[in-house]
Structure 1
């Protein structure tokens, strides 16, 4: 078995002595969706979280970490971030703003420490999965440790299911 590449996110967790596991998966460049990642991991999509970067007219950039099965609710995200209006940043902005690419955006180790909001359901699981900072590699981590490490907040930030 080949040695896993340590990402910047993993090195930062190592430095802080935060336990985690690096979990590789097969990348499909034509399908970077969370449901594909969950399928490759053999995990429930509700515990595979995606990292989204938004911009508010007051706060500037901030991060929402939501279950792969759900979509961020822009009105709720605006409310918790102290904005009236927010939007997802354009794909071309992701790398310059965060240092990460689509499908490999981790809530850990972005170029700047942005305010970060985790959907409350992350605490329903003993472990969640987030990108390790590159396509094909996920971090398996206790949600409370992750939220604390990035100085995040728990909030209801997804679209309600009907």
Structure 2
């Protein structure tokens, strides 16, 4: 790199085009893609491999673990968006938080695992925001307060 003598030299530097990062397929020894998803206090570990569409969460079927249809819909969003509903067998272990946070964590992990298995899906999932970790967490309780922001009840007498 050449040293600059004056500010006018800034515009004369040779500009090399910056190439976009090339994403490659990341598989383990068993031919599966693995990713970790997080949401609130929940952490989901997701493994995907080609198969018939069987999904197990913590050793149970999807419909048993996520009984509410909304939670199943949240978890299946990346598969429906990429038209891969019955193409992968998915194994998930999830812990921490509540069911809603766990469904969001599984969605995040599943999206990442899909991009590791098929890197060309990254643009579709990133545009929808499924690869971004939702950083909103519960605010901590402060001293001198009933909760994080709520004051104790005022008593006039």
TM-score of the pair, normalised by structure 2: 0.25
Higher helix share: 2
TM-score of the pair, normalised by structure 1: 0.24
Higher strand share: 1
